[in-house]
Structure 1
């Protein structure tokens, strides 16, 4: 039962034996509003409002002298994860953001680039971060070990957080969906459909929240090395 349940997350999408597992990452480009219309659409104006709001949020988290174009990196990261999360909500589309190979490929290069920049450009600043201010001298060796471990597991926690949250809701929807053919009472079927609609709304909110959390945490990690 468990193997059949988790098999819904296997990358096995294909048409005419042609593997189409990761095409959902490119299909999301179709959802990006076009910017060359003479009169912008409502979707395009809403997207501009979201981008401007994110720019203001990330500008507060970053240093004042480091905001020239830097926020666009994290806005692009947020948009990419958000669109992939929403593509996974459509039926018969492979959920790429529910796999560690996708999330680790985003978090690991970013974290590694932050660490290389911090230790090469701001070595003393990185050493200071290993010992929080006000730590007693006897606890300094332990704090260095704890801070080093917490720093090393950051890309893993980013990847696992996004993957686990995307898998949890999808598994619950799959479990409830598999019980549909077994129900005979029409009232139970109506309750199941209503519950699935609520779960779909919850998953839409989770898709937005998790992409925002991923982008904000990445912004905070970049701010620590500058």
Structure 2
């Protein structure tokens, strides 16, 4: 499976087919699961991310993640975004850190809504705002890739539409891989789509091709609702 730079790749398939497990392989989040074993090769700029010499902390800075349920830190809105750059030593002083926090919140489309209450808890925001805060937190450490595991599943339609608009804006600067159960969402936001079934990558290609003329009958059956 090739994930192309500055494109959105959607991972689709029925529940339990391995989409999220595969996604977590890309930045080694599965390392935290003792019973999980990973085989194969995942190349990022020609380097296998499972190479023993790879710094996992640095890998996760390069390949950020936004989870299914918004999970802001139990900190202020400001500190949620500032935490990553601070521990990675990305800024020289407090003023630079403040500028980075503002820039990240602006990119996430949240700055105008929170600029007057940055000291309030991140958990005080609405669900959609919390998810955008998590996106701001992810992009604050300047990743190359952003992984999104069903980022809209816990959100209402209005918040979902805002996140989808944001994804389209973010792909100008980032490569995005998104897991989604919504065929409509995959068609709207992605340039490429990969279909998983029973733990196997069945088919991948341009989104328009996958949805209009898939090669595999299983893909056709899934996108037409014959099973799910």
TM-score (norm 1): 0.28
Larger Rg: 1
- Greater helix proportion: 1
Higher relative contact order (Cα pairs below 8 Å, separated by 6+ residues): 2
